[in-house]
Every structure is written in structure tokens, then in C-alpha cells.
Structure 1
Amino acid sequence: MKTILAPTDFSPAATNAVRFAFMIAQELHARLKICHVMDEIPYAVVPGHDGYGGEADNENWKNTEKELAFLQNSLPLRGNDGSYAPEISTIVGAGTVAKGVMEIFRTSGGGVVVIGASGKNFWKRLFYGSATGSLIGLSTFPLILVPESFMTRPIKKIAFATDLHADDIALLGNLAEFARYFNAELLIAHVVDAPGQQAKQINLFLDEITDRLCYPKIYYRCIFNENTDDGLNWLSEHGEIDLLTMVHRKNSWLHPSHCRKISAHPKVPLMILPENLTQLFF
């Protein structure tokens, strides 16, 4: 059984992301672990260990544990329909935020990290030039960013933004298996400047999908827009999707700058997959 990891800074955005993570854990029958990384204590691991910052820091640690427990207790034991009740746990880490999250993920048998797309400090530290580096660039696991204003709802349609890269076929196969848990539609979305562009490449890509993927709810949509980011934002706002998926890949149509631009203000939950990922988290 995999673990869904939900880091929090206790902001409204992070709390909203925890609710979304709980919903995913229900559908996947996975564990949910809520964590907070105290990056102001650079060398601590647990209270009482060498390097811990003294009585004041010990009190901060205990208060953080209480906040995590309160957040855990705010989640329902199970869905209103009597659905699966995920096993929920909490943990406090210390060190730099990105590396702290990655270490908790590694030791917890994590499958995916779910975070809020804004927050008091967490988001800016994590993605925009902090000393810890970008979790998007460092991670080798799926990362889901949940907008603060997004109301958690069942995942009925998943969009996968592709640049028709050959490696996307295998990722789509894994994503289709993920979609099965939700009985969701899987939309393959590709942004081009005008009709007729890349027609041969598109046909070859779709033929390969037909040969290799066995999922009845998968289809393709070409989005016409001269700007890739605008095209993806249009899809998020008007495509009636519940989850947008992008690959964090260097030197391609979906250059990391696209991931960063979309992740700064996502309209719907955004799942970012590292390009070398061989299997999703279920």
C-alpha cells in the first residue's frame, strides 16, 4: 500500500490540499501522511537529539505536533457513503523544506506528494529560488499542486498535456491505470498554433496509443493557440477537467518554464510527473 504525503504550513491553501489528498487516498486505498518541515531548525531530527535548538524549539515542535493532530482530526473517518477510511498519520521533520519533504517521502514509502498551490511561505520557498532548490526540479515522484480556491470533488476527467514525445506513451499507460480507480475520462491534450500542424506526428502518436493502451475512456483533443501556456490555461478553465497532468521535461515543448508558469497559478489541481518516471504511485 502506497502513502500519499501532504506537506502543510497550516495555511488555508495547504489545508485544502490535505482534503484533496484525503480524497485520493480514499480512492486508491492508500495511507495518508500529513507532515510539516520546520526549516528554521537546520540540523534537528527530533527533540532531544544533538543540534536541537533548546527549550523554545522543543516547545515549537510540540505545538506543531498539536497542530498536525488537530488537522488530522478535522478529516472525516470515512466518506458519507461509507467509503474506504484511509490510515492517517502525522510527522514533523526538520531541515530545509524541499529536502525534508523528500526524506519523509523516501522513508514513508510515498507514492505522491500533494501540496497547496499557495501559502504563507511554503510555496515561495519551495518553487521560486530558495536556497533549498526547487522540489519540481529535485523530485523523482509525482507532485500534485492544489489551488487554494479549488473545491475538492471526484476526479471524472484527467487531462494529459503532451508534446507527442515517445516517452509519453508509457506515462499515459500508467496514467490510464490511475484513471481506472476513478472511472475517469483521460483526455490527451496537445497545443498547436493552427489546424494541420504536426498532422503526421499526431497520427503516429495516436496509432501508438491505440496499439499499446487498453482503456475505453481515452481520447485526444487538439487545442489551437499560439501560446502554449494560454492554451493549457484555456483547457483548465473551459475543458471541464478535474486534474491537469504535465511532464517536467527539459528542452522540449513542455519546457520546465511551462510547468512553472502553470504551477504559479493553476486553475485546477496540477500533477507534475518527472520525465524519467517509470510507474505511478498506485
Structure 2
Amino acid sequence: MMTIIAATDFSVLAENAVEYAAAIAKHKNAKLILFNSFEIPFHAANTLLPASSIQTLMIENEIRLLERSFALSYEYGIEVGHESAFSFIEDELKEVISKYEAELVVLGMTQKTLEQDLWGNTTSFAIKNLKLPVLAVPLHAKFEGTKKVLFACDVLRGLSKKALARIKEVAVDLDAQVEVFNVDQRLEVLRSEDTHSSVVNTLDDGLDGITYYYKNVKSVMVIREIEKEIKEFQADLLIMVPKKYGFWANIIHRSKTRVMASGLDIPLLSIPL
């Protein structure tokens, strides 16, 4: 049975992502694990609370998580477990994933802010560091049937067979159309017959059996073009594959996938290579 992990801090944003994850679990007959990384409230952290008071806060948090698990199990008819940790979520998430051999992590997608652009957040951390698909869900998104999937990529850097297999799996599971969308300054390279044939053959092999479209755009404004195409294609889901950079390149580059993981109106599925 597939296992999905949904992280929550009980905020409106996180709880919407939890509902989305529960709907996916019902659709796929999967097990859902709610994960909460308990942090002492700011006002409490700045006072000299006795150990017993902190323990009480942790127990109350555990009860809240347990009640949420029972409610989701009843509402969606799925198996729901829960895990909590007294630490930063980034430190514990990998251990929970390993414990349950999870195949998908679902997190809330924040609004775009300057702080998010500069430092990222838990979702961008997960996209960068986890070795399994991460689904970032914006505040008002509902799992009500995904019919159009936009796969934004750089075909000149190569198309991963693993990523294409995942995309095909998503499309078959949801009975959705796929648009492979490439944005590059070097679009003239694709006019080469050999390069074009190689790309088309790779797509035909990897996406055989599903309905897909292939579109190229020449532009230096990659993120803006993706946002524009989401609206034009009326996509329900955006899929991207984050690129891995070396240490020095990481200082210069910001992953487009991680930048896109905020401020969208549709969920973003990040598929690691």
C-alpha cells in the first residue's frame, strides 16, 4: 500500500494541504501519515516555564493530532496514522519518510514574498533535499479531478526516463492530458533535425499511451513564461524536475522549481531525478 505523508502545523494553509492529501489517499487507496513538528510557542519560549508545563503543551498537541487523524479517517474512509517530533520539521521529516517508506510528501504552498524568494521555506527545503516526489498545495486548491498537467522542463538538458515514467503514471491515474513545455534562450538549437528528432523520440517512448502536446517558447523570462502557460493551457497541476547544482553554482542559481513553489494557484509536483 502506498504511503503519503502530509505535514501540518494546524495553520489554514497546512490543513488545506492535509485535506488535499487525504483526497489523494482515498483516490489511490493509500495510507496517510500526518506529521507535526511541535515547537514551543514563542511567548512560552521566552518565559521560564517548568518542565511539567512544556510536557502539558506537548500532550495537548499530540491529542490534537490524534483527533485530526480520526476525523480524516472517518471522513475519507482511509487509514490515517500520525507522528510528532519535538524538533525542527526539516530535521525530522527524512526520518519519518524512511520509517514509513513513504512515496509522496504533501506540504502547503506559501504566498510569494521577498523572504520566501531569499531564504525559501519548509516546502522549498523539501524539494531541494528529499529524494521522493513533493507536492506543494496552494491555499485554495482542491483535489477535484486533474485533467490538464503542465510539465515544464529544459529539453536541451535532457529528459529523464524516470521523470517521464512518473508523469505518465500521473496522467494515466488521473486520465489527464499532458503538455510538455520548454522555455529556452537557445531555441534555435532545437531546429536542428537531429536534436528535434531526439527530443520527439524520447517523449514518444516515455509518454507512449497518453495524450500529450509539446510546445517550445524562446524567452529569457522562464518563470514568467511558465506562469503564462499555466493560464493559457488551463493546467490543473504543474510538474517540474529540480536540477542539482554544485556548491558554488548553488550560491548563484536558485532552482526554478523551488522559486515556483510559492504563489501559484495550482499544485506543484516536484519529481527528483
Q: CA deviation at 1:190?
A: 1.0
User: Is the 1:98–1:135 contact (alpha carbons within 8 Å) kept by the matching residues of 2?
Assistant: yes
User: Of residues 72, 81, 87 in structure 2, which corresponds to 1:89?
Assistant: 81
Aligned to 2:105: 113
Equivalence map 1:1-282=2 (5 Å): 1-40=1-40, 54-75=51-72, 77=74, 85-118=77-110, 128=119, 134-164=125-155, 165-193=157-185, 198-200=190-192, 201-251=195-245, 256-275=254-273
Aligned to 1:82: none
Q: CA deviation at 1:34?
A: 0.8
TM-score, normalization by structure 2 = 0.80
TM-score, normalization by structure 1 = 0.78
Cα separation, 1, equivalents of 2:2 and 2:136: 19
User: Is the 1:224–1:231 contact (alpha carbons within 8 Å) kept by the matching residues of 2?
Assistant: no
Would the alpha carbon gap of residues 69 and 145 (structure 1) be closer, same or farther in structure 2, given more than 3 Å must change?
A: same
- Greater CA deviation, 169-178 or 188-197? 188-197
- Greater CA deviation, 139-148 or 183-192? 183-192
SS in 2 for 1:4: strand
Aligned to 2:45: none
Q: CA deviation at 1:154?
A: 1.2
Cα separation, 1, equivalents of 2:196 and 2:264: 26
Aligned to 1:47: none
- Greater CA deviation, 187-196 or 241-250? 187-196
Cα RMSD (Å) of the superposition? 2.9
Cα separation, 2, equivalents of 1:170 and 1:146: 23
User: Is the 2:240–2:257 contact (alpha carbons within 8 Å) kept by the matching residues of 1?
Assistant: yes
Superimposed CA distance per residue, residues 61-82 of structure 1 (whole angstroms, 9 cap, x where no aligned partner): 2211222234334437466xxx
Would the alpha carbon gap of residues 231 and 207 (structure 1) be closer, same or farther in structure 2, given more than 3 Å must change?
A: same
Cα separation, 2, equivalents of 1:60 and 1:230: 44
Counterpart of 1:267, as a letter, is D
How many pairs are equivalent?
251
The runs of 5 or more residues in structure 1 that have no matched partner are 42-52, 80-84, 276-282
Q: Taking every aligned residue pair, what percent have the same amino acid on both sides? A: 22
Cα separation, 2, equivalents of 1:107 and 1:54: 29
Q: CA deviation at 1:186?
A: 2.0
User: Is the 1:248–1:256 contact (alpha carbons within 8 Å) kept by the matching residues of 2?
Assistant: no
Q: CA deviation at 1:15?
A: 0.7
More helix by share: 2
SS in 2 for 1:75: helix
Would the alpha carbon gap of residues 170 and 135 (structure 1) be closer, same or farther in structure 2, given more than 3 Å must change?
A: closer
User: Is the 1:159–1:244 contact (alpha carbons within 8 Å) kept by the matching residues of 2?
Assistant: yes
Superimposed CA distance per residue, residues 94-143 of structure 1 (whole angstroms, 9 cap, x where no aligned partner): 22211211111110121111001129xxxx79x93689x93322211111
SS in 1 for 2:241: strand
Q: CA deviation at 1:195?
A: 7.0
The runs of 5 or more residues in structure 2 that have no matched partner are 42-49, 247-252
User: Is the 1:250–1:256 contact (alpha carbons within 8 Å) kept by the matching residues of 2?
Assistant: no
